[in-house]
Amino acid sequence: MKKIFNCITILLSAIVIGISSCNKDEVNLIDENNKWIYLDSSNSANIKIIQCFAGNTPQIPTAPNITTGPQVFIYANGKKLNGTALSYGGVFPTTNVYSNIPAGSTRFDIINARLNLSVVPNIPGFIAGDTLATFTATVDKGKYYSFYIGDTVPTVRVSVKEDNFIVPVYQTYKIRVANFLMNPLDTLTLFSVRQNAEIISNITHKNVSDWVQLPLPIISDTLVFRKKGSTAAYVQFNGFSPVGLRMYTLLGRGKTAVTSKTPAAGIIINR
């Protein structure tokens, strides 16, 4: 019996030594590739990106739909920001939060989201000509910015606007207008059906108005964009039900006569 016990002990020791020797040189790939890197929030800026380029070209083979237009990845100092390609009408991040990036002078690249389909999961596979825009912007720590991708077709440019957040008072909300319709001569005025009044006036192409504070409506409002000097509805946003203390941007986007991208209004929640 003692001999059997000794044999078992020797066998188990050999197994343990063998396992230890195997593990000694092995690399835990999960640990190696799943490392959290925390951004220093005391030295970061906050950005939101809005894709309102109303062109149907350039296209990429991975999205061969003639009404799609560019779908883009955004890079900040060579670091990819968005996981899913940002297409027309898209906002990153999608909720009312902002993305944090290191503060300071930053190079941004807007690149058509071509993928290498031979690799699973797919990874970016850019070729010459896929970079649609490159620019440098200085973003200050603690501040908030909106980046609007758009201009006049076929040129892709980015407008950077600082977002100053002064919190609305109780039982009110704030709203502003961002005019990124790709019709340069369209100057917008915002009319509230519920208040029966113009609340923001004469916002020209690629400009953003100041915030306007308004009381919460008892029932939903209809917000109407009018062209300067006209009382006719140009485009409108129906069923607007704001929440107290929040801040909204009513975005004008699109271009006349472009398939699937005619002028429209959309709401962005900034706070």
Taking residue 127's Cβ as centre, other Cβ atoms within 10 Å add up to 9
- CA 163, 169, 173, 179 torsion-angle sign: negative
Fold topology of 166-271: Immunoglobulin-like (2.60.40)
User: What would the two tokens of residue 246 be?
Assistant: 């929040």
Do 90 and 72 contact (CB within 8 A), yes or no? Answer: no
Confidence band, pLDDT 50/70/90 cuts, at residue 5: very low
What is the mean pLDDT of the segment spanning 106-129?
A: 84
Confidence band, pLDDT 50/70/90 cuts, at residue 53: very high
Domain 37-163 shares a fold with domain 166-271: yes
* pLDDT tens-place string over residues 179-188: 999 999 999 9
Question: How much is the pLDDT for 148?
Answer: 97
* pLDDT tens-place string over residues 205-235: 999 999 999 999 999 999 999 999 999 999 9
Confidence band, pLDDT 50/70/90 cuts, at residue 63: low
Q: What is the CA radius of gyration of the chain?
A: 26
Question: How much is the pLDDT for 166?
Answer: 93
Task: For the chain, give every domain's residue range.
Answer: 37-163, 166-271
Fold topology of 37-163: Immunoglobulin-like (2.60.40)
How far apart are the C-alpha atoms of 115 and 64, rounded to whole Å? 13
